[in-house]
A and B are shown apart, each in its own frame.
Chain A
Amino acid sequence: MSWLVFALIFWAGAWALNAWLANSAWRGTRAVRILVPVLFGVTLVVLWEGLVRGLGVSPVILPAPSDVAQTFAASTGILWEDFRQTVLKGALTGFAIGSTAAFVTAILIDRSAFLTRGLLPVGNFVAALPIVGIAPILVSWFGFDWQSKAAVVVVMVFFPILVNTVQGLRETDAMQRDLMRTYAAGYMQTLLKLRLPAAMPFIFNGLKIATTLALIGAIVAEYFGSPTRGMGFRISTGVGSLSIDLVWAEIIVAAIAGTAFYGIVVWIERAMTFWHPSQRR
């Protein structure tokens, strides 16, 4: 009972502190901007711990964060192996192949206005489809190891990046292209100096969507057959054998990997499109 009371008091206190911080004179500073969401996250974890301990929830349903942290620390070896199999081999390889293929295809298609008009609606439609469903087919084509996971990721990330790149390449207006023509710039020069830079924000938008899709694809494909390692494999067997704390440790790895992957892409975007209005501060 005391756990429950403590968690609720902590919640109320943290919320009051956050409210005060958000309306204080320092609300624009970097420290407060980071502190407020961090405090919110810590509150959620404390609330979770308090609820699980206070209400005596069975660890089979929901383990306390402290138990998960212990399991996490005790099984870093397994977690690292799974991370390498799923994220580094499956998701990253697929992401690299898929985004390169989409980028090259977009540039080729862009040369024909006819194809562009035909492909944009089709690509937009395909990008909205539940493509994860092809995972079992690709697993049966490419075998159980990471190659089939990479293949699923390639197909999943291809269309969002393709559509965004094609749209980005159309972003320049006639005046800008005319200016390049008065400079006597050829196709390649116009592409490299005007149209690709103008397309960058769109391309990065596609890449950011693709980061989450890549992890989803790599994990789902493992539910359909994998060697005895990998995050999806560990989660599905962990749920089956009720070692729920290990499953939560894998979920935390997945969360960290997803956030870090997204963060890296955002960081590259900032470095490459620093001139764009949305990046200026």
Chain B
Amino acid sequence: MRNALPVLTVLLAIMAIWYAAVAPMNIRVALDQAQRGGAVLQPATALERQEVSVWSLMLRNPAQIKDAYAMERPRLPTPGQVAVELWNTTGDMALNGRAMSKRSLIYHGWITLQSTLWGFALGTTLGILGAVAIVYSRVVDMSLMPWAIISQTVPIVALAPMIIVVASQLGISDRTVPKAIISAYLCYFPVLVGMVKGLRSPAHAQLDLLKTYNASGFQAFLKLRLPASVPYLFTSLKVGIAAALVGTIVGELPTGAISGLGARILIGDQFGTPLAIWAALVAAAVLAGALVTLLDLAQRVTLKRMGMQA
């Protein structure tokens, strides 16, 4: 809680910079529109204005600055405009009983969330299984681990359109599947690395103690290695769910998807409605924040029940 004031200050500063940047970003287009509306400007034509910097444009046409803050298709919208657009496509529609309408961000967020959770489940399972195999088999460790690292240096976006084409050629028309595969690809690695670290975290003395109890390998796994890895697991799950969301949105962006937050960004780009892009971006940020916070909460509760955290 003692961080609340500094965080608030930083957020306010970001808002202030954003708000101040709106005028210079939008002034040219605002002036063009004002000219079409019959206003007398300095310099008078768009061609002449090309030669002048945005700062002197703002100084010479102070009356039009306020137009820059209320444009329908701004290059940079104000935080307020984004908030209004976000409310119009979420809360307002929900209040009118149209939460699942195709224009509502709640519907698109739900589509994105589904793929993210499927990918997260798939990636986490693969990561945990891979970590167990790596910890218990030296061959797997030596042959798989370098490729796991290399797999993350390969830009997945290059593969994303391929995965979707292959999926559709194989007759999988549901877009959830290829998107989930992409997010699993981004999500498994942090889980794998964290679990390998966690499963190897028990000290030699502890493993030896279990041996003196005549515990089998499986018992040692269940009663020592697995519980010891839980803190590591949760830390990497938080990284993993954020990565899974990035993966889903990347999977929606370049592939002509029609539903999902990434698709909203794509459609906003194609139809020239920047406010829709910004609202979808904020919605994605809220979703990411909510997912990470939920896992953080689960981590606290679990670790407390296990007696690992005071």
Contact = CB atoms under 8 A, between A and B. Distances in A.
A134 B282 CA distance: 11
A137 interface: yes
Contacts of A129: 242, 284-285, 288
A69 interface: no
Interface in B157-174: 157-159, 161-162, 165-166, 169-170
Interface string B1-21: 011011111110010000000
Contacts of A254: 154-155, 158
A247 interface: yes
A60 B169 contact: yes
A141 B206 CA distance: 59
Interface stretch (B41-49, B51-59, B84-92, B142-150): B142-150
Contacts of B8: 118
Nearest to A139: B269
Given A23-B138, A132-B246, 12 more contacts: A18-B142, A22-B143, A36-B142, A58-B169, A60-B169, A61-B169, A122-B11, A128-B239, A220-B253, A220-B254, A254-B155, A259-B153
Interface in A233-248: 235-236, 239, 244, 247-248
A63 to B, nearest CB: 11
Interface in A167-189: none
28 contacts: A15-B139, A18-B143, A22-B141, A33-B142, A36-B139, A36-B142, A37-B145, A40-B144, A61-B170, A115-B6, A117-B2, A119-B10, A129-B284, A130-B246, A130-B288, A133-B262, A139-B269, A141-B75, A216-B250, A231-B158, A232-B157, A235-B162, A239-B162, A250-B158, A251-B154, A251-B158, A254-B158, A258-B155
Contacts of B153: 211-212, 255, 258-259, 261-262
B254 A236 contact: yes
Contacts of A224: 269
Q: A139, A239, A261 — which one has the most chain B CB atoms within 10 A of its CB?
A: A239
Contacts of B93: none
B158 A118 contact: no
Contacts, number: 164
Interface of A: 15, 18-19, 22-23, 27, 32-33, 36-37, 39-41, 58, 60-62, 114-119, 121-122, 125, 128-130, 132-137, 139-141, 211-212, 215-216, 219-220, 223-224, 231-232, 235-236, 239, 244, 247-248, 250-251, 254-255, 258-259, 261-262
Nearest to B151: A255
B258 interface: no
B157 A219 contact: yes
Contacts of A258: 153-155
A251 B161 CA distance: 11
A23 B137 CA distance: 10
A39 B154 CA distance: 20
B157 A118 contact: no
B281 interface: yes
Contacts of A232: 157-158, 254
Contact of B284 (A40, A61, A62, A133): A133
A253 to B, nearest CB: 9
Contact of A61 (B166, B254, B274, B285): B166
Contact of A40 (B143, B162, B265, B277): B143
